[in-house]
Copies of this chain bind each other. A is one copy, B any other.
Amino acid sequence: MPRRVDHEERRRQIADAVLRIAAGRGLEAVSMREVATEAGVSIGRVQHYFASKDQMLVFAAGHLREHIEQRVRRSIAAAGPALTPLRSLRAVLVALLPLDQDGRNDARAGVAVLIRALGEPGLAGRYRSGRSDVIAAVAELLRSAAGAGELRDDLAPELEANILLALVSGLASDLLLGHHTPEQAAAIVDHQLERLA
């Protein structure tokens, strides 16, 4: 079904343009016209794929989530063949930090989506549900790592997952602002993980 694939690809190209604008100037700056210019297509083309700005933003937020999931999968793959639960966990946490330009753009777009979500209960609900999924996944890895003897077996997986992810999210802002180098941020995550061993 090559036509179908083309349509999905074009939607994603438009969503990428939305995220680039959001990363640079916030979601307030996103309009059909700006997105068309950024994506290098006509306004008619953008309107063909998205009936409203809201529809486009919801799709772009989902697309941002796909970016992040891809980064997590690549980070796990890069962690090598001898992948223990603890190494997977570290790979996931480090993948959530903005350590390169793509990561920085996505993190900035993420802050823009967060701002908007604070004023829109529907978007806030999606954001929370995405956050709950990540916390459940991290808690599961903590449980596996404890089961494999890599971490203490008396830790509370959900609580520690909430701490690790809040830490990563705070470190992301610090990285964006240049308060930490990527190496320092990764070392802080490692320090917190060692504490659970």
- B residues in contact with A127, CB < 8 Å: 177
Indicate whether A191 sits within 8 Å of B159 (C-beta atoms), given known contacts A118-B177, A169-B173: yes
A4 within 8 Å of B (CB atoms): no
A24 within 8 Å of B (CB atoms): yes
For the complex formed, measure the closest distance between the CB of A103 and the CB atoms of chain B, giving whole angstroms.
Answer: 14
Cα A178 to Cα B167 in complex, Å, equals 17
Cα A159 to Cα B190 in complex, Å, equals 12
A77 within 8 Å of B (CB atoms): no
Cα A58 to Cα B108 in complex, Å, equals 21
| Interface residues, chain A, with chain B CB atoms under 8 Å away | 24-29, 108, 111-112, 114-115, 117-119, 124, 127-128, 131-132, 159, 162-163, 165-171, 173-174, 176-180, 188, 191-192, 195
Contacting pair A119 B25 (CB below 8 A): yes
Tell me the nearest residue of chain B to A117, going by C-beta: B177
Contacting pair A177 B28 (CB below 8 A): no
- B residues in contact with A124, CB < 8 Å: 177-178
Cα A29 to Cα B177 in complex, Å, equals 22
From B131, B180, B192, A174 is in contact (CB under 8 Å) with B131
Contacting pair A119 B24 (CB below 8 A): yes
Contacting pair A179 B128 (CB below 8 A): yes
Tell me the nearest residue of chain B to A176, going by C-beta: B118
From B115, B118, B159, B166, A171 is in contact (CB under 8 Å) with B166
A-B pairs with lowest CB-CB distance, top 10: A166-B170, A169-B170, A28-B28, A170-B170, A166-B171, A167-B167, A166-B167, A128-B179, A26-B28, A128-B177
Contacting pair A167 B163 (CB below 8 A): yes
